[in-house]
Structure 1
Amino acid sequence: RYVRSAVLEVAAMGYVRTARSKGLPPRVVTMRHTVRNALVPILTITGIQLATILGGVIVVEVVFAWPGLGRLVYNAVAARDYPLIQGAVLLIAALFLLVNLLVDVLYAVVDPRIRLA
């Protein structure tokens, strides 16, 4: 739903109408002008969702009894294993930062107006 609304919003912009009126093939207008500009808000939502998934991993792994980082953190909290908790929190924070960095780099790839400094 979100992708559809983003594409429809961009498709109503003036530069898409101009590209169509210049006689560009519909595929070029769709890919270069519509989808590429609609990807910026989609990337934002994807980054937020990945961060939410990282935050909810503990609950999911404990509820379904799956082995993984979330279960490890839960057992470390139950056993008061502070070095393991610190390491796991550091790893989750690093993954969160990596996802944010990836989204920011993809912004520069998708939108030519955004430059990497």
Structure 2
Amino acid sequence: MKGIEFVLLAAGAILGAYIRYKITSFPLILGIIGSNVLIVNIVGSFILGIFSVLLVNWNLDQRYSFLIAIGFCGSLTTMSSFALENIVMIENKQILNMMINTIANVGLSFLALYGGRILIIQLLQ
């Protein structure tokens, strides 16, 4: 990794972590599942979907992946918090909530990434 790549990665990671911290520090919106973690996972996936198209369409330097995809989106989204929430739900015998949380995080993140790609493709035409 070259110096500029490290700087881009660090800048993206710091910003993503800060935004995740701010979003997840608010009280839960839904109460049943970790809605704040769900929000950051959906938003990060949506941004990654948009970026993945722009990277190719605008022929951007791959180093921008360090800033946006790996640094920012990687730091904004959180698999570890999602996994911890699910384990806590299992320990509390909240199996239905855990299943809803899993389906929501995986399914909505997937749809957000795909939706971001479709949206930017349509806007670029």
Q: TM-score range by the shorter chain?
A: 0.3 to 0.5
Alignment TM-score, normalising by the size of structure 2: 0.35
> Whose Rg is larger?
1
More contact order relative to length (CA 8 Å, sep ≥ 6): 2
